[in-house]
Amino acid sequence: MFTHFDAVAKPKAKEKPKIREHAIEKPPSIQTPQTLCVKIFPPFAEFIDFGGASKHTITNCSSCRIVFKIKCSDNAVFKVSPVHAFLDQAASTELQILRKEGPPKQDKLIIVLKEAKKSDKDAKLSFESDLTTVKHVIPLLTRIVEEF
């Protein structure tokens, strides 16, 4: 007595194609610039027209040591500290922004980053060479406070 399953021919197992292994030469390694990345918290600064201060944390989330410098759209009204600094991998530093009294306008800070060499000792001098830089912008917002 045959059952339905006994009468059905079993399909042959497919043979796996044979893959020839060739010696593949790897191209010479090419040095690519590291991805430079920082996290800035809070991502903007808010002031009143009478002036004030704002503190921010800059964290290096790159896989290398970086150097940064801070540029400002109005150095007469805003003061920042530090202006130049190194940040090791996964390190953080505090950025302080001070605003003097003045009329509100659209201002911004620009954080310029670049990979730092191990031999670099002076953050300010590190920017004199011609290496690729990355820029981040921090908006500086100013509100008008009305006196009653």
> Strands across the sheet with 92-99, in order?
38-41, 52-60, 92-99, 78-81
Calculate mean pLDDT across residues 8-13: 51
For residue 135, is pLDDT > 60?
yes
Calculate mean pLDDT across residues 79-84: 96
144 Cβ neighbours under 8 A, 6+ residues apart: 48, 49, 104
Full set of structural domains in the chain with CATH: 38-143 (2.60.40.10)
Highest mean pLDDT among 6-15, 90-99, 123-132: 90-99
Query: What is the tens place of the pLDDT at every residue in 99-109?
Result: 999 889 999 99
For residue 75, is pLDDT > 70?
yes
Pick the residue with more confidence: 118 or 132?
118
pLDDT at 32: 40
CA proximity to 87, closest of 70, 71, 66: 66
Pick the residue with more confidence: 78 or 127?
78
pLDDT at 140: 96
| Identity of residue 30 | I
pLDDT at 12: 55
